[in-house]
Structure 1
Amino acid sequence: MISLLRRTKLLTLTLTSNPRTLRPFLRFLSSSSKFPEYEMPSVTWGVVLGRKERLVSRVIISDYLKTLGIIPDELEQVELPSTVEVMRERVEFLQKLGVTIDHLNEYPLMLGCSVRKNMIPVLGYLEKIGIPRSKLGEFVVNYPQVLHASVVVELAPVVKFLRGLDVDKQDIGYVLMKYPELLGFKLEGTMSTSVAYLVSIGVSPRDIGPMVTQYPYFLGMRVGTVIKPIVDYLVSLGLPKKVLARMFEKRAYVLGYDLEECIKPNVDCLVSFGIRREALASVIAQFPQILGLPLKAKLSSQQYFFNLKLKIDPDGFARVIERMPQIVSLNQNVIMKPVEFLLGRGIPAVDVAKMVVKCPQLVHCGLS
């Protein structure tokens, strides 16, 4: 073993002392925009080692990682460089980006990526498509798998697909920062089928791009288990698909509401507060966000307030919600201003209550 260690050390010295092996790689950025974190490594994979030398080298590198607080267990099946110098270069490169030891322990496979062959080409491409340099570290932390990707084979086709959906070029970086996992999706899989299904129910193809910019997560939703069940349920409540299409175009985030945990319980909650089933479609169409609110607490609070301050009973409150569901989220101080104005003009409280029930938009009117 001592002999092997000496041989490994000798090989490393030979590598680092040979000027030819220390020639710099092609620069990643022009000198005017070159940042320290983008400097090419001063060493490569080193020399080609035999089996025994590789085992010794792996032990040395594992010990080095342990001294940094990195647990190397998940790297057992990963090809590692032949010298500690190369591994140190990788660790320091990632740390300059903002990747911490804790991040490396969460996904140690990052250390299996070559700075020259993997990290720099990927980071350069991400910056090119609009992700700010200051955010690259955050991007890598959120989606470290990107470092393993091929720019030509995996990343560029996804960006081309997004552009084909009419996502504006300047929005590509924003979309990927919100949902970096998009870069790992297969084009012929979930992304294509979710778009095709939404278009089939009436979503305008030209609105898909703005939808992606607003809420890219729907591209990762399965049609059969997520999107279609939501559509089918809302249709069963009386909402036509054309209305749903317009709703999704303007508020794509509605697709992110969980059907069983959120949408159905909120619909049941509306019914329990006296909203008629035949009015549910109108309520949802007017205020789609009502499907995702902590509705029971909001309705309870507003119902009590309407009864206490406006003398409107629960049945009258239900009619108010049917006509203006946004009331559930309206600030109570805002509601009281026009009410107090009317009361101050000598209108009896009972008449003000009737006015609010018949035309709840009254409580959202400005006084000027």
Structure 2
Amino acid sequence: MKIRFCSGLTKPGSLLVHFEPPSFFAVRSRSLSDSTYGNLCNHKKIPGIGIGLAVQCSIANRRFSSRSVDSPRRERSSRSSSGRDRDKDKDKGRGSQSLYSRPSLLDMNKEKAANRAKVYEFLRGIGIVPDELDGLELPVTAEVMKERVEFLHRLGLTIEDINNYPLVLGCSVKKNMVPVLDYLGKLGVRKSTFTEFLRRYPQVLHASVVIDLAPVVKYLQGLDIKPIDVPRVLERYPEVLGFKLEGTMSTSVAYLVGIGVARREIGGVLTRYPEILGMRVARIIKPLVEYLEGLGIPKLAVARLIEKRPHILGFELDDAVKPNVQILQDFNVRETYLPSIIAQYPEIIGIDLKPKLETQKKLLCSAINLNPEDLGSLIERMPQFVSLSESPMLKHIDFLTKCGFSIDQTREMVIGCPQVLALNLGIMKLSFEYFQKEMRRPLQDLVDFPAFFTYGLESTVKPRHKKIIKKGIKCSLAWMLNCSDEKFEQRMSYDTIDIEEVESDPSSFDMSTLMQPEREEESDSEYEEEEDDDDEEFA
């Protein structure tokens, strides 16, 4: 039998005894008197049994243990042995640290600085200034950096290009450059354009294909830019890949639609001039539109101009548009003609205008004795005149003089119809031959109506001339040609022609024609009106 424990309830003057006998010996706990306690505390073994017994006693708040009889000596020996063990453990620890030691943070920083210094030394050796690379994660060795530089060279970038944007050296060839270029190639961006593409927007090499590039491409397609045109848009304006979807791009498109640009034309407008996506409405687009309105061009007409020539939005208002308008007035262009001039030839407000006008004035003054004050009249009738080249104009003047016109007559024809300086010479020769051989009219008729050369010989001149001959009436070239087919048929019903009907100047421009919707738009609106009527019937 093994005594597990024996304890007594603690009371004043009573004894609490706790035995720790062997496991096979157990007794019940009971209360012992002071005398019994004394006998038990002096025994380690029970006579006759030979079993070790450990007793713990507690009187009031004191505790005693049978193990503490020779505890001082044992504690000293245990302390000395434990101290020796700790010393051995320390020695073992020192030995293990010497075998598996790691460099300190200071040593690591020193090594990193030394490697970066070698990389910087390599870059300086090939002409790259690494001042902006501090804080940028770079290759550990100069060999890896050399591979990056060589890869950029294979793309066509020079040392100067890299110095313009040295942060490109922080792009990994495998992790950054190759995935981006591979994605652009799959879109259809031509490899021959990669060099210029990266020169204009090297930041694209930092981009993530999934997070940054693919959403922009999807957004462009959502603006009705055809998938086949997306690569051309990116080649023309690679910076668009860095724009936020709901930022400048969306606001510029919304404004254009708001002023009257047809929603279905947006895709074509952006394809031809994607720079619009980067223009701020308040700073660039809106001020230009409002200025053109102030000159007398209706807002809807401005919208039509943007549909046909979206690049006019790139003209600097203060640096080009306003100065050019003033230059036109300085060359005797009347203010009332400014809207029609810009509507016919919007580029006139964006080019370097004054040198061109000076050149044209000098040329015509020497060739046909043009009065400088008449230059404004030429511009009013044909704004494109300012961009005509010298050689073609001289050839046309030479043709007219060879036809028998004097310098004064030629000058009068040029002022009355500047188009004679730009028409196809072969067609002009055929028209003049028909005029001489078949119509047999005096040259003065062409001086009075030089626009004769602008009408189609087979489609207009010959059919109408034959009807005039058949009718047996005599009329001016202007009466015969300067009208629509319907109006001409009405004139053929006249019995006599007593007074020449006055027609508008054939070179004049009607602003309302610019604002008229296209046929497709008209059909759409008519279809919508029919649907509305049907809805009213079923209401």
TM range (shorter): 0.7 to 0.9
Structure 2 residue 128 is the aligned partner of structure 1 residue 70: yes
Structure 2 residue 356 is the aligned partner of structure 1 residue 314: no
| 1:12-91 to 2 correspondences below 5 Å | 50-91=108-149
% same residue: 51
1:79-108 deviations in whole A, cap 9, x for unaligned?
223344433332332233223333322222
Task: Return closer, same or farther for 1:269/1:87 CA change in 2, 3 Å cut-off.
Answer: same
Task: Return closer, same or farther for 1:189/1:344 CA change in 2, 3 Å cut-off.
Answer: same
Aligned residue identity for 2:329: V
Q: Which of 71-80 and 96-105 deviates more?
A: 96-105
1:146-168 deviations in whole A, cap 9, x for unaligned?
11111111111111122122223
Structure 2 residue 319 is the aligned partner of structure 1 residue 261: yes
Partner residue in 1 for 2:387: 329
Q: What count of residue pairs does the alignment treat as equivalent?
A: 321
Task: Return closer, same or farther for 1:261/1:52 CA change in 2, 3 Å cut-off.
Answer: same
1:241-282 deviations in whole A, cap 9, x for unaligned?
222112112222211111111111110011011111010000
Structure 2 CA distance, aligned partners of 1:138 and 1:327? 35
Structure 1 CA distance, aligned partners of 2:403 and 2:145? 79
Aligned residue identity for 1:108: P
| 1:207-356 to 2 correspondences below 5 Å | 207-356=265-414
Offset of residue 127 of structure 1: 1.0
Q: Which of 354-363 and 255-264 deviates more?
A: 354-363
Q: Which of 124-133 and 282-291 deviates more?
A: 124-133
Offset of residue 50 of structure 1: 4.6
1:271-303 deviations in whole A, cap 9, x for unaligned?
011111010000111111111222112222222
Structure 2 CA distance, aligned partners of 1:135 and 1:361? 39
Larger of the two Rg values belongs to structure: 2
1:360 is matched with which residue: 418, 434, 448? 418
Offset of residue 216 of structure 1: 1.8
Aligned residue identity for 1:115: V
Task: Return closer, same or farther for 1:100/1:334 CA change in 2, 3 Å cut-off.
Answer: closer
1:326-350 deviations in whole A, cap 9, x for unaligned?
1112234433444444444444443
Structure 1 CA distance, aligned partners of 2:362 and 2:199? 47
Structure 1 CA distance, aligned partners of 2:121 and 2:362? 66
Structure 2 residue 224 is the aligned partner of structure 1 residue 166: yes
Instruction: Please give the TM-score of this superposition, normalised by the length of structure 2.
Output: 0.56
Question: What SS does the corresponding residue of 2:228 show, helix, strand or coil?
Answer: helix
Q: Which of 241-250 and 263-272 deviates more?
A: 241-250
Structure 2 residue 252 is the aligned partner of structure 1 residue 191: no
Q: Which of 124-133 and 331-340 deviates more?
A: 331-340
Structure 1 CA distance, aligned partners of 2:372 and 2:126? 64
Task: Return closer, same or farther for 1:344/1:74 CA change in 2, 3 Å cut-off.
Answer: closer
| Consecutive unaligned residues in structure 2, runs of 5 or more | 1-101, 430-539
| Consecutive unaligned residues in structure 1, runs of 5 or more | 1-10, 12-48
Partner residue in 1 for 2:199: 141
Structure 2 CA distance, aligned partners of 1:343 and 1:104? 60
Q: Which of 163-172 and 221-230 deviates more?
A: 163-172
Structure 2 CA distance, aligned partners of 1:317 and 1:189? 46
Structure 2 residue 195 is the aligned partner of structure 1 residue 117: no
Task: Return closer, same or farther for 1:354/1:118 CA change in 2, 3 Å cut-off.
Answer: same
Task: Return closer, same or farther for 1:317/1:56 CA change in 2, 3 Å cut-off.
Answer: closer
Instruction: Please give the TM-score of this superposition, normalised by the length of structure 1.
Output: 0.79
Aligned residue identity for 1:241: K
Question: What SS does the corresponding residue of 2:247 show, helix, strand or coil?
Answer: helix
Partner residue in 1 for 2:516: none
1:188-209 deviations in whole A, cap 9, x for unaligned?
1111111111111111222222
Which structure shows the bigger proportion of residues in helix conformation? 1
Structure 1 CA distance, aligned partners of 2:164 and 2:421? 52
Structure 2 CA distance, aligned partners of 1:229 and 1:179? 23
Aligned residue identity for 2:119: I
Offset of residue 184 of structure 1: 0.9
